[in-house]
A = this chain, B = another copy of it.
Amino acid sequence: MTASPYPPPACPAEERVALADLVVAYARAVDDIGNVDGIGSLFSDDAVYDLSALGMGEIVGQTAIRAFFRDAFAGMAHNAHFISNIALLAYTPSTAARVQAYGHAFSLGKDGTLLEVKARYTFAMVRADDCWRIARLGMDMLLPPISSYNSPHPS
């Protein structure tokens, strides 16, 4: 992992709240299983969802990202993404920001598989129409994922 910059770049508190809101909105949207519009609308039109850390390559464009989540949601019963350690890495006033956050995530599949992930997300964010959107989202694993089998869960 690369070192954290400290102190972070100067950024008004109102903007820090707005950037954190987008990270939290992402986690909440991923946990709102089936709501493809909810997750899709957080990304810019030409956003990149980079899953290369999971061996799944890059998904390019909001349309492809929506399709990815439509497929992924189909196998999920319950998700919980607990976000913490939101850190500002770079900030261009009212235009762009780079933010990292930790996620302790649990995903229970309809087949009873429970996946526990400890990840670090890196967000490139852009501001358009008075609202921050995700332009690029990548992740890496803090610890190896843990997969276990629960009793099958009704969808």
Contact = CB atoms under 8 A, between A and B. Distances in A.
B83 A84 contact: yes
Interface residues of A, number: 51
A84 to B, nearest CB: 4
Interface stretch (A7-15, A44-52, A55-63): A7-15
A1 interface: yes
Contact of A7 (B1, B8, B21, B79): B21
Given A78-B142, A142-B78, A144-B78, A4 B29 contact: yes
A85 B28 CA distance: 8
A21 B6 CA distance: 8
Contacts of A7: 18, 21, 25, 131-132
23 contacts: A1-B33, A3-B38, A4-B38, A6-B21, A6-B25, A6-B29, A6-B38, A6-B131, A7-B21, A7-B25, A8-B21, A13-B14, A16-B17, A24-B86, A24-B87, A79-B143, A80-B102, A80-B118, A80-B143, A82-B85, A82-B102, A106-B142, A108-B143
Interface of A: 1-4, 6-8, 12-14, 16-18, 21-22, 24-25, 27-29, 31-33, 35, 37-38, 41-42, 78-88, 100, 102, 104, 106, 108, 118, 131-132, 142-144, 153
